[in-house]
Structures are given as structure tokens and as C-alpha cells.
């Protein structure tokens, strides 16, 4: 099996930018990006990120806001924050060199067994498993086992350690990743092209797609949210999410972060009070201009974009009601103006980027060819 996998890898592995380097820092960055993101989505981000932060020292010295801006659109922003903390630790403890031992790697912020195994095996040729979803699926099918539970995961780990006890452990891990991504795919495995088909119990049974067993996921929760588009000084008003909440530090349209059904959306008066508390501006809010949909962390969010006019005569000094306070995510009375021509890249939440794209599509800001969403515009996809 080892020989077949290496032959498969040598004959035509995927040509990915992080496979053209042996720099452990770059391999670490790529593996962190790939934790929740597809390869095709990660590639342009990886290239920009490495150009901007070419080594651990440059990332360690960077402002978190700049790193989040470079990550903007990839989602799961705790990965970016952890990567900065990891690089600071690498600089402080290891003189700027990524440590080699799996236990040292696992002790770094945000580096779990998979990432540690991938970096240790690919960059340092340690025989360490890198068990991701693709590899787990291949192992499930080889053994015709449902693949659920921690005991199974441990067994897969043992199997991989056995397999990696030869030469080229990094290439073997990558061969299994490629096999899962390109041949042993979830719905239609191409068994006739598989280099390990004669070892495969699921194929012998005749229905490899049965494995791994399907896990029933909980239903998505429906959430309504609202962003208010306030045009000001040739741009659009944005507010920053405070510390201690998901997506802390990201910028977005002022408004209501999310109300779960059946409580339903706030009325216009409630939205105006929330926006006033967030921005320090008295704003009259109008009707819905556009709606965008966004799914994140088991929530399906419908975000209505409403118009907002700064109206110094409007009086929104009333205190927020409890329900308004709980959804406002307040970092009170601070805002910035995003302009298509002058604003440096800000870390924008994916929902905000979708909102700006909708604003651009309808040309609600009259910015013509200078598109707000083009400041940072890439789609985000789960791996």
C-alpha cells in the first residue's frame, strides 16, 4: 500500500503553491488556512498572505487588524488570531524557526493534532499522522467501518503511524489527502483509478459510498439581522465588533447582529436606537433595499440592508430596551467611513462583504465603477 500510494503521488500529485516550498512557516500557514477552507479558495489568499507576511517574524510583528484584513473573506477568524499568537511564540521561544517536534507544534496556539502532523511530516519528515476528513474517509472505506467515535479515530491514527514508518512520511500523508480529494470522493469514488483498490474492503462489498456512516446534523437555526447603509462623506459608515463576541475586531454595517426566530426583527425605532448607540449618529432608517443570505456556525442568517440618513434633528437618545441591547454588540459611538478610493483594507466580516456586494450591484452609493466590495472581494467556502 505504501509503494502504491507513493507511486500515485509521484505520477501526478496536485500542484499547490505550498508544495513548491520546504519552508515550515509557509507549510504551517497553508495548513491553518486549509483547516476550514477549500484548496481552491485558499490558494489566492495564501499567495497574498505570504507576500505580505513572508516569515514568522513579519507575522509576529504585524498589527492584528492588518492580519485580519488579509484573512478577510476566509472566515473562522480565530485561525488568523491564533496564527499571530503562534508566530509570536515561535519568535520568543524558538528564535523565529518553526519547531520540529510534534509535541512542540501541538503546544502552539490553534495547532491541533492534524496541523501538527501535517507540518511535522511535510516540513520535517517526521512519521506523524495528519488525519483530516479526506484521509479519514479513505481509511473508513479501506476497512469498511462506519468511522464514528473516538476509538475508531485512535485506530485510524495507529493505522497511519504504521503506514508512515518508512521513507517519505510527508509525501505519504499528502498522497492520502490527494486520494481522498480527487479519487475517493464522498459521493462517487472512482475506484477503477484507485491505487489501493485491492486493499479496499468497502469496494469488495460493492457499495463504498456507504462509508463513512452519515451523521445527522442538527437543523440550521433561522436568524434575522439588519445592516443600515449610511452614506456619509463619500463613503459608507462601518462599526467594529467588540472584544468577547464572535468575529471580534471585524468591521460591518451598523445594525442588529442577529435575532433568532420566533422573536423576529426589531421595528424601525429599535433599529434607529441601536444604530445611534453604535455610531453616535442620529439616523432615520428607511425600508429594506436588499437582502443577503449567509450561513455560519449552524445559523442561516437573512440580513436585510436598510437605508439610513443622518438626521441631526432626530432624537434617538432613549436608552436601549433589553432586547435591543442584547443584539446590538456595542462598541459604543465609534465608526469609520469606508470609501472605495481611499480606505485601506479593513477586516470585514463575510456578511459585510456580501452586503457591500449587494450595495454595489444596485449601485446604492452611486460609486459607479469604484466598487466598495472590490476593496476585498473573494468568496469563502468550507473545505
Choose, by CB under 6 A, the member of 98, 136, 177, 183 that binds ligand SF4: 183
Q: Is 158 helix (H, G, I), strand (E, B) or coil?
A: helix
Q: Which residues contact 343 (CB under 8 A, 6 or more apart)?
A: 235, 336, 337, 375
Binding flag, residue 172, ligand SF4 (CB under 6 A): no
- Residue whose grid cell is 496536485: 14
Q: Given the complex with ligand SF4, which of 119 and 139 has the nearer CB atom?
A: 139
Q: Which of residues 243-262 bind ligand SF4 (CB under 6 A)?
A: none
Question: Does an H or E element contain 251, and which?
Answer: strand 251-252
Choose, by CB under 6 A, the member of 26, 168, 197, 241 that binds ligand SF4: 197
Binding flag, residue 141, ligand SF4 (CB under 6 A): yes
162: annotated active-site residue = no
Output the smallest distance, CB 141 to ligand SF4, in A. 4
Choose, by CB under 6 A, the member of 73, 75, 99, 189 that binds ligand SF4: 189
Cell of 104: 512542540
Binding flag, residue 372, ligand SF4 (CB under 6 A): no
CA separation (Å) from 165 to 161, 170, 178, 238, 356?
6, 11, 20, 54, 51
Output the smallest distance, CB 34 to ligand SF4, in A. 21
Residue pair 212/147 in contact (Cβ under 8 Å)? The answer is: yes
**Cα-flanking dihedrals φ and ψ of residue 48, to 5°?**
-65, -45
CA separation (Å) from 11 to 118, 194, 216?
21, 13, 37
316-332 per-residue burial string, b: 16 or more CB within 10 A, e: under 16: beeebeeebeebbbbbe
x/- track of binding to ligand SF4 for residues 206-225 (CB under 6 A): --x-----------------
Closest CA to 242 of 201, 294, 277, 281: 277
Binding flag, residue 191, ligand SF4 (CB under 6 A): yes
Task: Give the interface segment with ligand SF4, choosing from 36-44, 58-66, 110-118, 194-202 (CB under 6 A).
Answer: 194-202
Binding flag, residue 202, ligand SF4 (CB under 6 A): yes
Helices 113-124 and 24-33: crossing angle in degrees, nearest 10, is 150
- Pairwise CA distance, residues 225 & 207, whole Å: 44
Task: Give the interface segment with ligand SF4, choosing from 27-35, 57-65, 192-200, 277-285 (CB under 6 A).
Answer: 192-200
Binding flag, residue 184, ligand SF4 (CB under 6 A): yes
- Pairwise CA distance, residues 198 & 202, whole Å: 10
Binding flag, residue 147, ligand SF4 (CB under 6 A): no
Binding flag, residue 196, ligand SF4 (CB under 6 A): yes
Q: Given the complex with ligand SF4, which of 155 and 299 has the nearer CB atom?
A: 155
Q: Which of residues 13-52 bind ligand SF4 (CB under 6 A)?
A: none
Q: Given the complex with ligand SF4, which of 201 and 314 has the nearer CB atom?
A: 201
Task: Give the interface segment with ligand SF4, choosing from 85-93, 109-117, 136-144, 312-320 (CB under 6 A).
Answer: 136-144
**Cα-flanking dihedrals φ and ψ of residue 238, to 5°?**
-125, 155
Q: Given the complex with ligand SF4, which of 108 and 184 has the nearer CB atom?
A: 184
- Pairwise CA distance, residues 238 & 30, whole Å: 30
Q: Given the complex with ligand SF4, which of 194 and 228 has the nearer CB atom?
A: 194
| Longest distance between any two alpha carbons in the chain, whole Å | 78
Output the smallest distance, CB 204 to ligand SF4, in A. 9
Q: Note the residues at the interface with ligand SF4 (CB under 6 A).
A: 138, 141-142, 183-184, 189, 191, 194, 196-197, 200, 202-203, 208
Q: Which residues are catalytic?
A: 31
Amino acid at each position: 500500500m505504501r509503494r502504491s500510494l507513493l507511486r500515485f503521488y509521484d505520477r501526478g500529485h496536485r500542484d499547490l503553491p505550498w508544495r513548491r516550498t520546504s519552508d515550515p512557516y509557509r507549510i504551517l500557514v497553508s495548513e491553518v488556512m486549509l483547516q476550514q477552507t477549500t484548496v481552491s479558495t485558499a490558494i489566492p489568499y495564501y499567495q497574498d498572505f505570504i507576500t505580505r507576511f513572508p516569515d514568522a517574524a513579519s507575522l509576529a510583528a504585524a498589527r492584528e487588524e492588518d492580519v485580519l484584513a488579509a484573512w478577510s473573506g476566509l472566515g473562522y477568524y480565530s485561525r488568523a488570531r491564533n496564527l499571530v499568537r503562534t508566530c509570536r511564540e515561535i519568535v520568543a521561544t524558538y528564535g523565529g524557526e518553526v519547531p520540529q517536534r510534534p509535541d512542540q507544534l501541538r503546544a502552539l496556539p490553534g495547532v491541533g493534532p492534524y496541523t501538527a502532523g501535517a507540518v511535522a511530516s511535510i516540513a520535517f519528515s517526521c512519521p506523524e499522522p495528519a488525519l483530516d476528513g479526506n484521509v479519514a474517509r479513505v481509511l473508513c472505506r479501506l476497512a469498511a467501518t462506519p468511522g464514528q467515535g473516538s476509538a475508531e479515530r485512535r485506530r485510524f491514527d495507529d493505522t497511519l503511524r504504521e503506514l508512515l514508518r518508512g521513507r517519505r512520511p510527508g509525501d505519504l500523508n499528502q498522497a492520502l489527502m490527494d486520494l481522498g480529494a480527487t479519487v475517493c470522493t464522498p459521493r462517487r469514488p472512482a475506484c477503477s483509478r484507485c491505487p489501493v483498490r485491492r486493499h479496499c474492503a468497502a469496494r469488495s462489498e460493492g457499495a463504498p459510498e456507504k462509508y463513512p456512516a452519515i451523521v445527522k446534523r442538527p437543523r440550521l437555526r433561522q436568524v434575522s439581522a439588519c445592516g443600515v447603509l449610511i452614506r456619509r462623506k463619500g463613503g459608507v459608515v462601518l462599526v467594529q465588533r467588540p472584544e468577547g463576541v464572535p468575529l471580534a475586531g471585524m468591521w460591518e454595517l451598523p445594525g442588529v447582529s442577529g435575532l433568532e426566530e420566533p422573536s423576529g426583527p426589531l421595528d424601525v425605532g429599535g433599529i434607529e436606537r441601536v444604530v445611534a448607540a453604535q455610531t453616535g449618529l442620529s439616523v432615520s432608517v428607511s425600508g429594506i433595499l436588499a437582502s443577503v443570505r449567509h450561513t455560519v456556525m449552524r445559523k442561516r442568517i437573512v440580513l436585510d440592508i436598510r437605508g439610513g440618513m443622518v438626521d441631526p434633528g432626530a432624537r434617538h437618545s432613549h436608552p436601549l430596551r433589553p432586547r435591543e441591547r442584547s443584539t446590538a454588540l456595542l462598541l459604543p459611538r465609534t465608526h469609520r467611513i469606508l470609501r472605495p478610493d481611499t480606505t485601506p483594507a479593513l477586516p470585514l466580516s463575510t456578511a459585510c462583504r456580501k452586503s457591500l456586494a449587494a450595495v454595489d450591484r444596485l449601485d446604492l452609493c452611486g460609486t459607479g465603477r469604484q466598487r466598495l466590495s472590490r476593496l476585498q472581494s473573494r468568496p469563502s467556502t468550507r473545505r
